[in-house]
Structure 1
Amino acid sequence: MSMDLPKPITDYVEANARLDIDGMLKPFQRDAVFIDNGKHFEGKAAIRQLFEKEVIPVKAIFTPDTAREEGGRFVVEGPAHGNFPGSPLRFIYRFTLSDGAIETLEVTL
């Protein structure tokens, strides 16, 4: 990825490109919140289950093409490709970072 993003975001995106669940989880805080189109997943265990059920089986890989800082969050946009209806779909990822880790990630279409 050539965009200049904070390390936790870069680490997450690069791990997602490998479909590496452990790598995807590593940049999250232990009690992080992942909001997937309105559904809340709190803590790494819940986020792992989300990845195991909804990301890995359909090989969903997010490829960011734009990024900006907005209201204290990093907003990263781009398509996600995979074996799911409508692929590729364009997503917006809103990252809130704290103490060098992802505190909140909100994903919307």
Structure 2
Amino acid sequence: MNTRMPDVVARYFEASARRDMEAVGAAFAEDAVVTDEGHTWCGTAEIRAWLEGPASQYEYTTEILGAQAEDEDAVTVTARVDGDFPGGTAQLTWHFTLAGDRIRHLRIAP
């Protein structure tokens, strides 16, 4: 798994590493959907609430392990996350579906 990530996905991870939630939010389409930890957020207002709440409650670092294109509008990224959350380390997968230069759907799962 070492496919080059689409620019919007790379920007998502770069902004997330800087904890720039404004830039992370800007990567999403107006009608985007995020599923994380069993919850779903729809549209930019709910996604911003996710970014300001659950997505930022822990300090962590992300080490990208690889990316794989599923088709021209979908990519899966696998990474190791280390931080102050319960367990301290996790390997997660981000499943992105894109709409042009924006993220239309994101599902984060173990």
TM-score where L is the length of structure 1: 0.88
CA contact (8 A) 1:78 1:90 kept: yes
Give the whole-Å Cα distance in 1 for the aligned partners of 2:62 and 2:25: 15
Could you tell which deviates more after superposition, 57-66 or 36-45? 57-66
Q: Is contact 1:19-1:59 (8 Å) kept?
A: no
Which structure carries more strand by proportion? 2
2:13 counterpart of 1:13? yes
Count of residues in Structure 1 that have an aligned counterpart in Structure 2: 108
Q: For 2:52, give the aligned amino acid.
A: E
Extract unaligned runs of 5+ from structure 2: none
Change (3 A) 1:104 1:35: same
What CA distance in whole angstroms lies between the structure 2 residues aligned with 1:60 and 1:31? Answer: 28
Seq. identity, % = 28
Instruction: Check conservation: 1:16, 1:61, Cα contact below 8 A.
Output: no
CA contact (8 A) 1:19 1:61 kept: no
Q: Give the letter for the 1:91 counterpart.
A: L
Task: Measure, in 2, the Cα distance between the counterparts of 1:31 and 1:61.
Answer: 28
RMSD in angstroms over aligned alpha carbons? 1.8
Give structure 1 stretches of 5+ with no counterpart. none
- Which runs of structure 1 show a deviation greater than 6 angstroms over 4 or more consecutive aligned residues? none
SS at match of 2:53: helix
